[in-house]
Chains A and B, each alone.
Chain A
Amino acid sequence: MNCTRRSFLKGSLATIFFSNFNIPLYGSISNPKKNLVIISLRGGMDGLTAVPVNDILINKYRSDLILNNKLKLNSDFSLHPKLKTLHNLWSQNLAAVIHATNVPYTGRSHFDGQNIMETGALKAYTKKTGWLGRGMKSSGLYGSSLALSLPMPLLLRGVEGNNNYFPTWMHLPKREVIEKITRAYDGIEHDKLQEVYNVIMNRPLTMQGGDESLDSLSKRTAKILKDPLGPKVAVFDIEGFDTHTAQGTDNGEHADNLHDIDLIIKNLHTGMGSDFNNTLILTLTEFGRTVEQNGGNGTEHGYGSAILMAGGLLKKSQVFTDWPGLKKNSLFEGRDLNSTIDARSIYASAMSSVFDTDFEKIKREVFWEQNIKNYSENLFKA
């Protein structure tokens, strides 16, 4: 039996106190709650479709995938027309892009790539926790996350008290019944299931009801994050970026997926009001796609992609990149946009800024002292 953990998780106030012990119990104006929202884009987002580069070479590589109505960012880059909200935020210094970036993984397997994207390790299936979970742990943030999906993403593993919200119409048994079930696990040392039942018994009202559409989930998330005592981290999952065939241009499969990203950003921006200023939204993907289109007007698994970011914690609007170029000999293995920025440097810098944790501590405790760089000053508000 594990008395300590049970009593600590028993009342929601106790949970909240421990979750945010590095900030005042009640959020104050001088020290508002900062939020990190991650959107995992599974299947491999095509960075050159989401954030097209102004380079005529691209017409040679992928003549069937050229966008017509790009949204201009600067002289070099634009946004896909479905990323309307992001484009609006850009003009308010609330949006930014990291381009030609990826986790250091060149194997082109979804499963290995997503594993590395979530664990932050150099080799797939070598670590069982996610960089975000470890980053929260190292920042003392327990019970302060929310996944908007049914299974708990690997990304969040490694810290206790993770929560998720993905509502069902079915009714829960009464609290006494859940308590009875929870007690049945008393005899088992450190049982992870018992921890889950404890989280379930302490759900706030904002997490009861709703439906599982992305629209509803993101509107709810805005409310949940607005609560000064609510979670500080939210994780969305979008699938379907693996467009081997009929990828589309302004419209089509990849465009629909980009629209999903934009919908989340829009609902968070609208729903969070001034709290959007204390928020950072950041996308992840396992790899980019080949520069050249394939035979099915789609693209194959590639390497470098882009990270889309939004929120008031950004320093300014910018496309932050060490652009490798599209000439054949600049492409990775002659086929993929190269990655010149280790995406893990961005993840670590983002956590350091949002969680107010020393970058070196994150580098040490979350990324095993690996060679990552601190971009906090370039990208985020202190």
Chain B
Amino acid sequence: MKKNFFRKVAFGLSPNDKINEDPLNWAKQQFDTVPKFVWEKKLPNLEEQRDRYGKWVYEDRKVLREKYKNDRLAYEKEKDNLRVITGEKFFEPLELSVRHSTAIASNSPAFERMWHFWGNFFAISEKDFLASFSTGVYQREIIRPNMVKTFEDLVYAVTTSWCMLHHLDNAENIGPSSTEGVRENSDNDNENVGLNENHARELLELHTLSPEGKYSQKDVIEMAKVMTGWRHLWNNKKLEAGPIKFQPEYHEQGPYKILGKIYDIKDFNTVNQGKELGIVIKDLANHPATIRHVARKLCQHYICDEPTEEMIASIVKKWKQNDGNLIEVHKSTMEAVFDYGSNYQKFSMPELWLLQNSRMLGLNYIYLFPKGFEFNGSRPSRSHRLVKDILWEIGHPIYRAKQPNGFIDLEDEWLSPELIIRRLAAARRFADITNPNVNYDQDYFFNVIEKNFDQPENLLNLMKDPVFYADRFAIFANSPELMRV
């Protein structure tokens, strides 16, 4: 396996890419540092996006609804205006364009592919306005910089991020015996507060142990107690979009018992209570069930739907030797793909399929590529929105998974007629998003195929009959060689 490897761990080789003689090493060295995005324009940061989120919810909920409560049309008009001002329709297209620009043109495409993996592993599913303002920047600023640290660092950063805490309702998770809990339950408004297990449960089930870790409902409740107090600072103007700060007045005191271990930290005065979460996460992130769960997910993403014990063990071993250092975990994943990948085929989820076609064929659907664009207070145009629209049509709206477990990376999940119809139809449209300086004739396709496939015969054969221009793209993209890697 040589040429195929570039498709298995990244997006294949573009017409400009050189064929590296040592693909495994080519991939491994990409994980040592965090590469830059292929995007020259300035990108918004976490705080700016939280502020925009806050402005959008505050102005809509507290100002417009009150002001126009008797005039629905005026309300709709002003609300639309507010969308434009806050960029409610702009940032999702922007972030997805950055993601695709970088996947297609980066010198570290294997790193980008891994970043996509983690984004889905720690998925923010569709909730409130997170996809519109926050999920993209969360993946850039919370997940990406931690990809050169330990898994524990990554879990901690994700768990204490505003985006994940909001996504999984942790502000609703209030210690019943905490000062605020007691106060709110004794006032006269009949509203009771208490534990909310949502985030705690997903932390155990999806982000660390998985059900194989055999935790119980009691463990979930105890975990929820540890997580109380991790919430946004309430702010009349920003509502739920205030910055995250551990607030001891909402915190349920220990000791806690999780997976049989007692966490009883007596000298944890109110100032230090927030540190309990880090201590528990340390144990969870380094638990054998967690390591196996993540290693299995990695194999499942890169190699096949049903990874073998041998593949999983190869990553688990490196993980343990390096205490969860993700640089080494990523490198060992590349080795696993190199060692075992040639015997398996993995169905490509729609976005990966799009990116592979795009990189190999040199398609260009990203507005102002590679320079990029930035938010200027205006409404996004069709060109701005193209990446987002294509992803929507092929059934893979990256920031809008329906559940916190993200998009399921298994072939059966994606084998429905309607989803395949969409790939057939979308591939015809590839003909409209080509590089204008290139002639996409038969020879061009032949060169792409020779460059990217160790066994090109079947695909060359499929492409040899003369067909209409747009159909050439449809046939190439929907061939067995492109649907599975």
Find residues 93-110 in chain A having any chain B CB closer than 8 Å to their own CB: 107-110
Q: Which residue of A109, A152, A295, A300 contacts B191 across the interface (Cβ within 8 Å)?
A: A295
Q: Are A196 and B417 in contact (CB under 8 A)?
A: yes
Q: Are A168 and B425 in contact (CB under 8 A)?
A: yes
Q: Which residues of A contact B220 (CB under 8 A)?
A: 108
Q: Which residue of B169, B190, B194, B480 contacts A63 across the interface (Cβ within 8 Å)?
A: B190
Q: Which residues of A contact B474 (CB under 8 A)?
A: 173, 177, 181
7 new A-B contacts at CB < 8 Å, known A109-B211, A173-B425, A177-B475 = A64-B191, A151-B414, A152-B412, A170-B428, A192-B412, A244-B169, A294-B194
Question: How many residues of chain B are within 8 Å of chain A by beta carbon?
Answer: 54
Q: Which residues of A contact B465 (CB under 8 A)?
A: 180
Q: Which of chain A's residues has its CB closest to B420's CB?
A: A196
Q: Which of chain B's residues has its CB closest to A157's CB?
A: B412
Interface of B is mostly: helix
Query: What is the minimal beta-carbon distance from B416 to any residue of chain A, in angstroms?
Result: 4
Q: Which of chain B's residues has its CB closest to A183's CB?
A: B462
Find residues 144-198 in chain B having any chain A CB closer than 8 Å to their own CB: 169, 172, 174, 184, 190-194, 196-198
Interface string of B441-468 (1 = CB under 8 A from A): 0000000000000000010001001010
Interface string of B410-433 (1 = CB under 8 A from A): 011111111111101111110000
Interface string of A132-148 (1 = CB under 8 A from B): 00000000000000010
Whether B52 is near chain A, meaning CB under 8 Å from some CB there, is no
Q: Are B395 and A151 in contact (CB under 8 A)?
A: yes
Supposing A172-B424, A173-B424, A177-B471 touch, asked if A42 and B416 sit within 8 A by C-beta, the answer is: no
Q: Are A168 and B196 in contact (CB under 8 A)?
A: no
Interface string of A258-302 (1 = CB under 8 A from B): 000000000000000000000000000000000001111110110
Find residues 181-221 in chain B having any chain A CB closer than 8 Å to their own CB: 184, 190-194, 196-198, 201, 205-206, 211, 217, 220
Q: Are B194 and A152 in contact (CB under 8 A)?
A: no
Supposing A157-B412, A295-B184 touch, asked if A171 and B479 sit within 8 A by C-beta, the answer is: no
**Interface stretch (choices A18-26, A70-78, A159-167, A352-360):** A159-167
Closest 3 CB pairs of A and B: A295-B193, A170-B425, A152-B416
Q: Which of chain A's residues has its CB closest to B168's CB?
A: A244
Q: Which of chain B's residues has its CB closest to A123's CB?
A: B211
Q: Which residues of A contact B462 (CB under 8 A)?
A: 180, 184
Q: Which of chain B's residues has its CB closest to A237's CB?
A: B402
CA distance A167 to B419 in the complex (A): 10
CA distance A300 to B395 in the complex (A): 30
Q: Are B417 and A294 in contact (CB under 8 A)?
A: no
Q: Are B201 and A108 in contact (CB under 8 A)?
A: yes
Q: Are A128 and B393 in contact (CB under 8 A)?
A: no
Supposing A63-B190, A192-B415 touch, asked if A184 and B196 sit within 8 A by C-beta, the answer is: no
CA distance A150 to B391 in the complex (A): 13
Q: Are A184 and B420 in contact (CB under 8 A)?
A: no
Query: What is the minimal beta-carbon distance from A285 to any residue of chain B, in angstroms?
Result: 14
Identify which of A63, A111, A164, A173 gathers the most chain B CB atoms within 10 Å of its CB: A173
Q: Which residue of A109, A174, A181, A191 contacts B479 across the interface (Cβ within 8 Å)?
A: A181
A sample of 11 inter-chain contacts (CB < 8 A) reads A63-B190, A64-B190, A110-B403, A150-B418, A152-B415, A162-B416, A170-B393, A173-B424, A180-B475, A192-B415, A294-B172
Q: Which residue of A110, A185, A245 contacts B172 across the interface (Cβ within 8 Å)?
A: A245
CA distance A77 to B369 in the complex (A): 61
Q: Are A170 and B402 in contact (CB under 8 A)?
A: no
Q: Are B211 and A171 in contact (CB under 8 A)?
A: no
Find residues 181-215 in chain A having any chain B CB closer than 8 Å to their own CB: 181, 184-185, 187-188, 191-193, 196-197, 199-200, 203
Binding site for B on A (CB under 8 A): 42, 63-64, 107-112, 124-125, 128, 147, 150-152, 154, 157, 162-168, 170-174, 177-178, 180-181, 184-185, 187-188, 191-193, 196-197, 199-200, 203, 239, 244-245, 293-298, 300-301, 333
Whether B405 is near chain A, meaning CB under 8 Å from some CB there, is yes
Supposing A128-B412, A184-B458, A295-B193 touch, asked if A193 and B480 sit within 8 A by C-beta, the answer is: yes
CA distance A239 to B429 in the complex (A): 31
Query: What is the minimal beta-carbon distance from B458 to any residue of chain A, in angstroms?
Result: 7
Q: Which residue of A170, A178, A296 contacts B169 across the interface (Cβ within 8 Å)?
A: A296
Q: Which residues of A contact B393 (CB under 8 A)?
A: 168, 170
CA distance A180 to B405 in the complex (A): 36
Whether B478 is near chain A, meaning CB under 8 Å from some CB there, is yes
Supposing A170-B426, A295-B193 touch, asked if A200 and B420 sit within 8 A by C-beta, the answer is: yes
CA distance A187 to B474 in the complex (A): 20
Supposing A64-B190, A295-B194 touch, asked if A168 and B471 sit within 8 A by C-beta, the answer is: no
Query: What is the minimal beta-carbon distance from A169 to any residue of chain B, in angstroms?
Result: 8
Query: What is the minimal beta-carbon distance from B119 to any residue of chain A, in angstroms?
Result: 18
CA distance A107 to B426 in the complex (A): 41
Q: Which of chain A's residues has its CB closest to B198's CB?
A: A244
Whether B483 is near chain A, meaning CB under 8 Å from some CB there, is yes
Q: Are A293 and B429 in contact (CB under 8 A)?
A: no
Q: Which residue of B172, B192, B402, B415 contacts A196 across the interface (Cβ within 8 Å)?
A: B415
Query: What is the minimal beta-carbon distance from B170 to any residue of chain A, in angstroms?
Result: 11
Q: Are B422 and A164 in contact (CB under 8 A)?
A: no
Identify which of A64, A147, A174, A184 gathers the most chain B CB atoms within 10 Å of its CB: A184
Q: Which residues of A contact B425 (CB under 8 A)?
A: 168, 170-173
Query: What is the minimal beta-carbon distance from A94 to any residue of chain B, in angstroms?
Result: 31
Q: Which residues of A contact B184 (CB under 8 A)?
A: 295
Q: Which residues of B contact A185 (CB under 8 A)?
A: 480
CA distance A294 to B181 in the complex (A): 12
CA distance A107 to B220 in the complex (A): 11
CA distance A187 to B192 in the complex (A): 64
Q: Are A296 and B475 in contact (CB under 8 A)?
A: no
CA distance A174 to B471 in the complex (A): 9
Query: What is the minimal beta-carbon distance from B413 to any residue of chain A, in angstroms?
Result: 6
Q: Are B428 and A173 in contact (CB under 8 A)?
A: yes
Q: Which residues of A contact B478 (CB under 8 A)?
A: 181
CA distance A110 to B169 in the complex (A): 15
Q: Which of chain A's residues has its CB closest to B216's CB?
A: A107
Q: Which residue of A64, A164, A333 contacts B417 across the interface (Cβ within 8 Å)?
A: A164
Q: Which of chain B's residues has its CB closest to A187's CB?
A: B458
Q: Are B458 and A109 in contact (CB under 8 A)?
A: no
Query: What is the minimal beta-carbon distance from B214 to any residue of chain A, in angstroms?
Result: 12
CA distance A45 to B395 in the complex (A): 26
Query: What is the minimal beta-carbon distance from A355 to any residue of chain B, in angstroms?
Result: 22
Query: What is the minimal beta-carbon distance from A137 to any residue of chain B, in angstroms?
Result: 15
CA distance A271 to B395 in the complex (A): 28
Q: Are A170 and B483 in contact (CB under 8 A)?
A: no
Q: Which residues of B contact A157 (CB under 8 A)?
A: 412
CA distance A266 to B211 in the complex (A): 40
Q: Which residues of B contact A293 (CB under 8 A)?
A: 192
Q: Which of chain A's residues has its CB closest to B194's CB?
A: A295
Find residues 113-133 in chain B having any chain A CB closer than 8 Å to their own CB: none
Q: Are B196 and A295 in contact (CB under 8 A)?
A: yes
Q: Are B211 and A112 in contact (CB under 8 A)?
A: yes
Q: Are A193 and B403 in contact (CB under 8 A)?
A: no
CA distance A97 to B365 in the complex (A): 51
CA distance A210 to B329 in the complex (A): 47
Q: Which of chain B's residues has its CB closest to A296's CB?
A: B172
Q: Are A147 and B192 in contact (CB under 8 A)?
A: no
